[in-house]
Amino acid sequence: MVKYKIVYDRNGCIGAGACVGMSPNDFEMANDGKADLKQSQDENGNFVKIIDEKDYKAALDAADACPVAIIKIVKLEEK
């Protein structure tokens, strides 16, 4: 099964909320007006989350909708 990694640079977030609208299972708005990547871990200043192929389309839509392009979707190598 193919896995993907969402890489989110929260520092660059402007709080538009497009990611939440496109992928509410992955993103939510926080009290400070920025989005949070749910169930993520900090990796070198970015928040990351591994997702399955079934969640890829919603995550890609969130990345495409972000007006400041701070969400990246990376395909992981299959083992």
43 versus 79: the higher-pLDDT residue is 43
Domain span at residue 21?
3-75
Provide the number of structural domains found in the chain: 1
Q: Say if residue 65's pLDDT is above 70.
A: yes
Q: What are the two backbone dihedrals, phi and then psi, of residue 75, each rounded to the nearest 5 degrees?
A: -80, 130
DSSP for residue 54: G
pLDDT band, residue 27 (cuts 50/70/90): very high
Beta bridge partners of residue 5, listed in sequence order = 50, 74
pLDDT at 79: 61
Q: pTM of this prediction? A: 0.93
Q: What is the CATH number of the domain that holds 71?
A: 3.30.70.20
Q: How many residues in total does the chain contain?
A: 79
Is residue 9 within 8 A of residue 31, CB to CB? The reply is: no
By the 10 Å C-beta count (0-12 exposed, 13-18 middle, 19+ buried), 75 is classed as exposed
